[in-house]
Amino acid sequence: MAMNWLSALARGAEIPVFAVVGAQGLVPVEGLRHRPGLRLVDSPRHARVLLVAGAVDGAHKTELERLHAQIPTPRGTVWWQAPPLFQRGEAVAGDDPLPAIRAAAEADDPDQRPDVPPHPWQGMGPHGQGGRGMMGGNPYGRPMAMTADDIRDGLALDAYTARFGPFLPMWPPGLVLDMTLQGDVIVSATVVSPPIEQGRRGDAPALCAARMLRLMGIGPVAARMRGALMALPKGSGMRRRLATWLRGEAVAETPAPLSEALPGLEWAEAVLWLASFPPSRLRAAFLTKETA
Amino acid sequence: MVVVFLHGWSPNAPFPLIGAYRYVAIALPAMLLSMFVLIGAALPAKSLSVVEVVEAQRGLWNVVRQPLGLPLFMALGLAITLRGPFDYADGAELAGGTSAEESGPALALWKFARAAMLVAFSAMAATAFLGGHLGPVLPGPVWLLLKTLAVMAATVAAGRFFVRMPPARMLTLLWVVLLPLSFASLALVGVEVLP
């Protein structure tokens, strides 16, 4: 009896959904934020349902499978206006994915990836350990964090190298960077793959402003009065671009190459800087660089 | 502060770790701030006993006597409940930060702990600055409950209203503006209670 009551309550709760944004998927996913019955979450570990909105390039199939593996079981998958890259969940072609998400919240996908580390352990030492002492080596495909001079003050800190993207919720969808971080300061950045096409609607001022403000922890109502512009660092152009969007005008600036612009920024600043460019301009910056 | 750090350090993943380190950097000056305003609240009572602090407010609540105290203490409330402008541990730009790798019961427990911190902070703020159980007509515990609820509501509203700055700017604000303000508040209280 008590369990029936609890499960009825659980069914009435919002469904936590992790949205993967594919081609032209940004606008539809932003539209879902205001739908009752579901809640878009920032981490796949917080989600019940994986929603793939818009076609994802086959090159990202492995990353998508790993993301699927990170959703805690029981989990469901919905492919919304996206051709499935693997045989889990169901595909929806229409405008409203909510019925399919409700159905997926009752489903339980089996594992898609084998339950083994993505890279084997590659220790350096004679016993397969990290290397000299506890340092060095390439455990699980990632170089061990070793001390290096901090780029700001020369103090020796651990530099940590990893691949970031392509489905990070706070980043332009599809962008993949190899980055070295010291604490939360970016030391170097190399572009691995550019953002995915979002179309002209993805550049809408209201949508871009809302994405940026969400990273600062507030909604879009009266953002200027609440100090949104004052909170941004001076001289980076972020204030100017956010102010343009808040006035309802489009931003037409193209970012500098990321490998030059990102080093030296802290994580939060870098994320805001990336969000302060419209998706089409970010993408265009990469494509012109490739053809040049 | 130690618990939040360990919570971010233990998953062995980049975002929780960044959240943990950032939180320590921000929470330390926030704690210092609260220390000075709480000493300010204890000075008129000449005691750190919560009962004495409430009794000392029988004539005039600390929120009136020390107008800077409660707003500065609220900054600590936002920091220890990981809320809005002080949510450097679990913010959206870190995909959930220290709790990014958690799900199910562990995540529910973490949220419960944050809610518990909110209740504890609000009860202490109501006691130290709003006169605790003092009030007309209604019995004392009801007054304390009402005041605690009011502080909770104000904390949640402030968390939703104010914008979160990049951490470097927040550090400057804390060390250069808010911490000197808390010194000033303490100094004013000191001058006031001089016989």
Q: What is the DSSP string of A190-247?
A: EEEEPPPP-TGGGG-HHHHHHHHHHHTT--STTTTTTTHHHHSPTTSSHHHHHHHHHT
Nearest to A268 among B85, B99, B166 (CB): B166
- Give me the pLDDT at residue A288, please: 61
Listed ranges A126-140, A261-275, A278-292; the one with the highest mean pLDDT: A261-275
The reply to whether residue A184 touches residue B21, judged by beta carbons under 8 angstroms, is yes
- Give me the pLDDT at residue A18, please: 92
The reply to whether residue B22 touches residue A184, judged by beta carbons under 8 angstroms, is yes
Number of neighbouring beta carbons within 10 Å of residue A119: 11
| Least Cα separation, residue A292 to chain B (angstroms) | 32
A231–B contact, CB cutoff 8 A: yes
Chain B residues whose beta carbon lies within 8 Å of the beta carbon of residue A42? 92, 95-96, 100
Chain segment A60-90, per-residue pLDDT in tens: 888 888 888 889 888 889 999 888 888 887 8
The reply to whether residue A43 touches residue B18, judged by beta carbons under 8 angstroms, is no
* Mean pLDDT of the region A253-282: 86
Tell me the three state secondary structure of residue A91: strand
C-alpha–C-alpha distance, residues A217 and A235, integer Å: 22
Contacts of A213 (CB under 8 A, 6+ apart): A219, A220, A223, A228, A242, B163
C-alpha–C-alpha distance, residues A91 and A39, integer Å: 20
- Give me the pLDDT at residue A137, please: 66
Chain segment B66-121, per-residue pLDDT in tens: 888 888 888 888 888 888 888 888 878 888 788 888 888 888 899 899 899 999 99
**Buried b or exposed e, range B6-15, using 16+ CB within 10 angstroms:** ebbbebebbb
- Count of A–B CB contacts within 8 Å? 95
Nearest to B95 among A43, A219, A227 (CB): A43
The reply to whether residue B85 touches residue A217, judged by beta carbons under 8 angstroms, is yes
- Give me the pLDDT at residue B154, please: 92
| Least Cα separation, residue B156 to chain A (angstroms) | 12
- Give me the pLDDT at residue A292, please: 43
Nearest to A180 by CA among A150, A135, A136, A137: A150
C-alpha–C-alpha distance, residues B141 and A265, integer Å: 50
Chain segment B127-175, per-residue pLDDT in tens: 888 887 887 888 878 888 999 999 999 999 988 888 888 888 888 888 9
Chain B residues whose beta carbon lies within 8 Å of the beta carbon of residue A235? none
B171–A contact, CB cutoff 8 A: no
Nearest to A226 among B87, B99, B162 (CB): B162
C-alpha–C-alpha distance, residues A53 and A40, integer Å: 13
Number of neighbouring beta carbons within 10 Å of residue B42: 19
The reply to whether residue A231 touches residue B91, judged by beta carbons under 8 angstroms, is no
Kindly report the length of chain B: 195
B100–A contact, CB cutoff 8 A: yes
Chain A residues whose beta carbon lies within 8 Å of the beta carbon of residue B107? 45-46
Q: Name which residue leads in pLDDT, B170 or A153.
A: B170
* Mean pLDDT of the region A214-236: 79
C-alpha–C-alpha distance, residues B144 and A289, integer Å: 64
Q: Name which residue leads in pLDDT, A207 or B96.
A: A207
What confidence category does residue A130 fall into, taking pLDDT thresholds of 50, 70 and 90? low
Q: Which residue of B has its CA nearest to A71?
A: B103
Nearest to B166 among A43, A181, A233 (CB): A233
Mean pLDDT of chain A: 82
Q: Name which residue leads in pLDDT, B62 or B74.
A: B74
Please give the ipTM for the structure prediction: 0.81
The reply to whether residue B94 touches residue A72, judged by beta carbons under 8 angstroms, is no
Chain A residues whose beta carbon lies within 8 Å of the beta carbon of residue B85? 217
- Give me the pLDDT at residue A256, please: 83
| Maximal CA-CA distance, chain B | 57
Nearest to B164 among A42, A184, A216 (CB): A216
- Give me the pLDDT at residue A107, please: 83
Nearest to A231 among B87, B102, B165 (CB): B165
- With a cut of 60, say whether residue B19 has pLDDT above it: yes
| Contacting A residues, span 57-116, partner chain B, CB-CB under 8 Å | 72
Q: Name which residue leads in pLDDT, A14 or A144.
A: A14
The percentage of residues in chain A with a pLDDT greater than 90, rounded to a whole number, is 4
What confidence category does residue A291 fall into, taking pLDDT thresholds of 50, 70 and 90? very low
* Mean pLDDT of the region A251-256: 82
